[in-house]
């Protein structure tokens, strides 16, 4: 039986166009709202065509001392130039990036995932401190 966790790929986001980039402050105030932005292809552009695109990104937070992470949100990208006239015939495209707003009283790890319709599942993580 396959393990889902083993199917996620990872790499340096500065060299690999599929890894979700996590942009957030290193330290946030206890109980104060802050933004976390996820994007794909920050340094190396990812295609956004009917044939090759990012379908979704997801954000989770695993607070220190907690058993399980909490899902913060998921953004789906569904317009990639497809239309009734054929692939890449539309002028409507979504951008594979999203900003989530959250708060926490505990430090922990921001966990991001993404899905490319050709190259599968990708992940990244970033530590978060709370003052």
Q: What is the pLDDT of residues 74-88, one digit of tens each?
A: 999 999 999 999 999
pLDDT of residue 20: 96
Our answer to whether residue 82 is catalytic in this structure is no
CATH of the domain at 111: 2.60.40.730
Q: Decide if 18 is catalytic.
A: yes
The residues of the chain scoring below 70 in pLDDT are none
Q: Clarify whether 116 is annotated catalytic.
A: yes
The catalytically annotated residue of 2, 16, 30, 32 is 16
Any catalytic annotation for residue 80?
A: no
Give the angle 64-70-74 at the CA atoms, nearest 5°.
135
Among 67, 71, 103, 119, the one annotated catalytic: 119
Out of 53, 80, 82, 116, the active site residue is 116
Q: Cβ(34)–Cβ(102) under 8 Å?
A: yes
Q: Please give the residue range of the domain that contains residue 67.
A: 4-130
Structure confidence at residue 18 (pLDDT): 92
pLDDT at 43 (0 to 100): 86
Domains held by the chain: number: 1
């Amino acid at each position: 039986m396959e393990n889902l966790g083993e199917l996620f790929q990872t790499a340096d986001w500065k060299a690999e166009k599929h890894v979700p980039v996590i942009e957030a402050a290193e330290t946030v105030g206890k109980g104060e709202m802050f933004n976390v932005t996820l994007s794909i292809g920050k340094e190396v552009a990812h295609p956004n065509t009917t044939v090759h695109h990012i379908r979704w990104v997801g954000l989770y937070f695993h607070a220190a001392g907690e058993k399980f992470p909490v899902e913060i949100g998921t953004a789906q990208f569904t317009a990639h130039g497809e239309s009734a006239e054929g692939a890449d015939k539309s002028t409507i495209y979504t951008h594979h990036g999203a900003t989530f707003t959250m708060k926490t009283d505990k430090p922990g790890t921001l966990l991001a995932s993404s899905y490319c319709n050709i190259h599968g599942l990708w992940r990244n993580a970033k530590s978060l401190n709370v003052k």
